Structure 1
């Protein structure tokens, strides 16, 4: 992970970039978070082993240790002239002498308070609900707070299912849920949801110190899709996952996911139960297949591992294809039953 940061850092210093971006690097032992500042400047921090980071589309690192970055580089890395750049342009806005990169380089405009900070607020609130600082008139943090923590220690270990849930979220349990069907709906849809209609691809990289890495994949709106694991380090990908063209087809996991999402949104109340069953079923069966094939891959000779990974990926693809086709059938029926030209008389 550190080597990835150093390589990208060199590229940025050499060629530059026209915009700010955040990039995560991970391996089996550590995670680093790099942020480009624009031009030839960048900084990165090592994510503490017991912590998580949530970062919407804005500058996120809220503290930085220049002393470490220019000496031991244990937890901080940056472009060679970043400190001088800050000093030359009077970018240190702190009152206590502790440099705040978010204040120096980040945005704090009105659009952030609709598009970005609400998403970070909801994620932090989900992983640390007992902190008791998220809701009410005297809340320490709100959906419009510019000082949300860059990283926090969660109240329990975070699972793949937690990540899927939070990246599918539309502010459930708050007045901001666009699907809210009861009570005061005056604030429903006020903020940009995390799971939105134009989600295209969700990729979750799961690394281990002494096991094969996994890449979990989902297509279309996260609120309605299923997250599926696949082994990496393979030479072939199942056709249901790979053969996606611009032609809409039920032979494609991508297009099936798009169709399910559009129809489930239009029949949300009736279709939600089918979406929940679909997501839970795929998750459970995926874990079972990972357990089955994981043992075989670990025990197999090195020259047989690639073929076994591909066999596992095909089994997982076959499983999710069957579940997806069944769910598409159920959602299509629910939406068809609510067409505007429906009639009660039971005849042809």
Structure 2
């Protein structure tokens, strides 16, 4: 993939904090090659020594008044009488903590999928009036767990999250995607501590986000496509965050200060932080991803990129993976090929990504294979997207055993992390070989998937449980084959680097050192 990055972008000052950060891609069902609904995100964390797991949670009957308690702050929320069964990817988990933390992405038994969160920041002026509730509001730690246990539809999930924001507050700024096979994908963004907006992705469009709010036009009277705080615009007018050109007919009719949809309210201009650092940290990812899928070049200097666009060709899982692997290949701004960690533009694919996911909903297939999570461990540019079907009876243990900061020889997380750290020692030399073999693996995998799914559908009509066993066998074989490939590449590169005798403790130091060199801190 070669992406032309416009040189007209201003080079601002990168922020250097350790805030979490991500890159999100959403695709409507009429914009995909197979009619599927796609929600994808790189889940970036503070360093490359954090781990994750894939977990199945059974349906649970809760006692009256039982509360969900966040591990990150003092947020609590009443659990439903019956918590829905769901699969999720927690960043950390421990028997000493009350709940799983940072579950990030998952699918529940009602077919509701969530990806949360895209770290964003709201405008300083809005937050002066309605600040985040850092100690007690809802945040990334809790959002997926609450929604997956409770929501029976994407719309219900958005309404629940919006209600929590209004009543208990948001602890931080975030964007959240919630989808189902009936209503497609909804995307919610915070406006301030107690205010929010959400919209439904047009079926023929894609959307990309990179650590900055992206919403512009808002029409809360179009309930089919928009939701949000009832006073979203009135709050802005009353607090001098926004001055409408006129109250218009709607204001005259209702006596309110809310303007009609044709007037000038723009959510981005009113509620989104937009500073110099965005021009290097966020704009380049948006510009390059939109160009990748449309071929169009942008000279946007104010952050007002098109929110939704129709791709020039329908997008596949592989096309979305290519976007998540973006690091400005073929340009002088590629920090890896040029071996320049000081390159000014923050890539989509960074070493501190804990994992990358592509959630695919295929409405015309049985739910057990219609819902798929493709998961790539660590830095997606140097990883393989392995499919995990909703009908998978058991999650393979190698995706559940990694421990923060403690490399081992058995978990998938540390196998990929070791390879990634080695490749980054001489990216121009080793990455082409890894890319070639990983691309071949994925191409062959997609062919095998199609054959397995065809067999599955025939078997499913006679014996659904036996069909799910077929998924288990396929997944385990796929992981085993990927293990062999990763192991062979690791050995070959380690030998070439004369690093073949590294201990796990040595690898921990190498991974940490390499990530810090290419950290791209901030959100």
Verify: 1:124 aligned to 2:282, yes or no.
no
Report deviation, 1:176.
0.8
How far apart in 2 are the matches of 1:223 and 1:167?
8
Q: Structure 1 residue aligned with 2:271, among 101, 105, 128?
A: 105
Corresponding residue of 1:343: none
Say yes or no: does 1:250 pair with 2:409.
Answer: yes
Query: 1:87: Cα distance to partner?
Result: 2.0
Q: Which of 147, 154, 167 in structure 1 is aligned with 2:304?
A: 147
User: Unpaired runs of 5+ in structure 2?
Assistant: 1-153, 246-261, 500-523
Q: CA RMSD in A?
A: 2.6
Deviation per residue, 1:133-191 (Å, 9 max, x gap): 33xxxxx33xx54111221111111111111111111111222111344xxx9997211
TM-score normalized by the length of structure 2 = 0.58
- Counterpart position of 2:313: 156
Q: In structure 2, what is the Cα distance between the partners aligned to 1:250 and 1:194?
A: 28
Match of 1:48 in 2: 202
Change in CA separation of 1:302 and 1:13 when aligned onto 2, cut-off 3 Å: farther
Aligned to 2:68: none
1:77 corresponding residue in structure 2: 227
Check if 1:259 corresponds to 2:413: no
Matched, 1:26 2:199: no
What aligned pairs does 1:141-290 form with structure 2 within 5 A after superposition? 141=300, 145-181=302-338, 189-211=343-365, 212-246=370-404, 247-290=406-449
**Which residue matches 2:25?**
none
Q: Is the 8 A contact 1:206 1:214 kept in 2?
A: yes
Question: 1 CA distance for matches of 2:417 and 2:306?
Answer: 34
Answering whether residue 163 of structure 2 is matched by residue 10 of structure 1, we say yes
Tell me the distance in 1 between the aligned counterparts of 2:157 and 2:345: 34
Cα distance in 2 for partners of 1:38, 1:306 equals: 47
Separation (CA, whole Å) in 2 of partners of 1:296 and 1:270: 41
- Asked if 2 retains the 8 angstrom alpha-carbon contact of 1:274 and 1:331, the reply is no
8 Å contact from structure 1 (residues 236, 310) kept in 2: no
Higher helix fraction (1 or 2): 1
Q: Which residue is 1:344 aligned to?
A: none
Aligned pair in 2 of structure 1 residues 338, 259: CA closer, same or farther (>3 Å)?
Answer: closer
More strand by percentage: 2
Distance 1:97 1:173 in 2: 42
1:37 Cα deviation (Å)? Answer: 1.8
Matches of 1:107 and 1:6 in 2, distance apart? Answer: 24
Deviations 1:181-210 (A, max 9, x none): 4xxx99972111111110111111100112
Residue 330 of structure 1 is aligned with which of 489, 493, 496?
A: 489
Identify which range, 21-30 or 190-199, moves more after superposition.
Answer: 21-30
- Aligned equivalents of 2:444, 2:243: Cα separation in 1: 52
Secondary structure (helix, strand or coil) at the match of 2:353 reads coil
SS of corresponding position for 1:121: helix
* C-alpha contact (below 8 Å) 2:392/2:472 kept by paired residues: no
Distance 1:323 1:115 in 2: 33
Quick one: distance in 2 between partners of 1:125 and 1:13?
36
Q: Distance in 2 between matches of 1:309 and 1:94?
A: 57
Deviation at 1:315, TM superposition (A): 2.2
Aligned residues: 325
The structure showing larger relative contact order (alpha-carbon pairs under 8 Å, at least 6 residues apart) is 2
